[in-house]
């Protein structure tokens, strides 16, 4: 694939920033991708309207995390704190962009976080966000924003977690011959680093599926010059898939929501998997 084509496909990458570790990982992953693809970076900070409303309630009280004492929540103070956070996020973005020499813009929005995120960058080709953000429970699965993005988002979403790289390491693409999985493969090839190893997991009950898939993907894979390993997995159960993927230890998981997989399976898979996930639409 020519570099020009890659650039044609992904021009802008939006990244959700909230100063959490997940969001930092998202920013780095987004920057790495952007620099390879020559894309622009859009940083989005959403001031949570729920938080502000709550502060407006007469009895609003905050339970402080490290002292367990309670204190009155002051709306003005909260506003100020949110401004500081936004500034921090902007500085983070600026530093990263300068480090990678990227074009970037920064937006501050106010509203319900998932919705605002979805609507903030309608023209962005990829939305990068943490698997979970500053939600109260340090949960293992997906956070509320990530779930909403997965459920309702129209654009390609990359869900990051700290301690992982996205496109620099190996990639794993789920392939079942559908158009969606073709697109997933295309995107994976576009964002993959030059040294990345690409695992292509063929999900099909047919015994000759692997060979067929090889033929089908040849035209896409060959020009990229990447090393590709084919795996054949004749199951389509979410948990089994997750176990298999964990075994391969493959890095970024690339899949499409328009594959022949049931939506629940897909969601369960994304929820269970530890590694970053790129959902191509």
Nearer to another protein, 73 or 220 (CB): 73
Cβ atoms 279, 257 nearer than 8 A: yes
Contacts with another protein, residue ranges (CB under 8 A) = 48-51, 53-54, 56-66, 68, 70, 73, 78, 81-82, 85, 112, 134-140
| Smallest distance from another protein to CB 19, Å | 9
Residue 171: DSSP 8-state: E
Distance of CA 199 to the CA centre of its chain: 19
CB 22 within 8 A of CB 131: yes
Considering beta carbons, is residue 77 or 240 the nearer one to another protein? 77
Angle at the Cα of 209 from the Cα atoms of 205 and 215, rounded to 5 degrees: 160
State which residue, 19 or 236, has the beta carbon closest to another protein.
Answer: 19
Q: Give dist(CA 79, CA 244) in Å, integer.
A: 46
Distance of closest approach, residue 243 Cβ to another protein, in angstroms? 14
Q: How far is the CB of 30 from another protein (least distance, A)?
A: 23
Q: How far is the CB of 149 from another protein (least distance, A)?
A: 16
Nearer to another protein, 73 or 236 (CB): 73
Cβ-Cβ contacts under 8 Å for 98 (sequence gap 6 or more): none
């Amino acid at each position: 694939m020519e570099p020009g084509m890659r650039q044609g496909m992904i021009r802008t990458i939006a990244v959700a920033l909230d100063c959490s570790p997940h969001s930092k990982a998202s920013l780095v992953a987004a920057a790495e991708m952007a620099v390879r693809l020559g894309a622009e970076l859009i940083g989005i900070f959403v001031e949570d309207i729920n938080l502000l409303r709550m502060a407006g309630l007469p009895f609003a009280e905050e339970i402080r995390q490290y002292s367990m004492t309670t204190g009155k929540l002051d709306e003005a103070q909260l506003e100020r704190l949110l401004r500081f956070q936004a500034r921090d996020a902007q500085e983070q973005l600026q530093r990263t962009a300068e480090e990678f020499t990227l074009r970037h813009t920064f937006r501050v929005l106010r509203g319900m976080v998932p919705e605002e995120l979805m609507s903030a960058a309608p023209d962005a080709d990829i939305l990068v966000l943490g698997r979970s953000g500053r939600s109260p429970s340090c949960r293992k699965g997906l956070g509320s924003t990530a779930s909403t993005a997965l459920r309702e988002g129209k654009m390609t979403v990359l869900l990051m977690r700290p301690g992982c790289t996205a496109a620099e390491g190996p990639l794993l693409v789920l392939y079942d011959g559908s158009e969606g999985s073709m697109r997933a493969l295309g995107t994976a090839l576009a964002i993959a680093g030059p040294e990345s190893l690409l695992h292509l997991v063929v999900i099909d009950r047919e015994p000759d599926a692997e060979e067929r898939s090889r033929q089908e993907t040849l035209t896409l894979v060959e020009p990229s010059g990447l090393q590709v390993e084919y795996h054949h997995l004749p199951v389509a159960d979410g948990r089994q898939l997750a176990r298999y993927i964990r075994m391969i230890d493959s890095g970024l998981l690339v899949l499409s929501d328009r594959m022949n997989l049931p939506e629940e399976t897909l969601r369960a898979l994304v929820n269970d998997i530890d590694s970053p996930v790129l959902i191509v639409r």
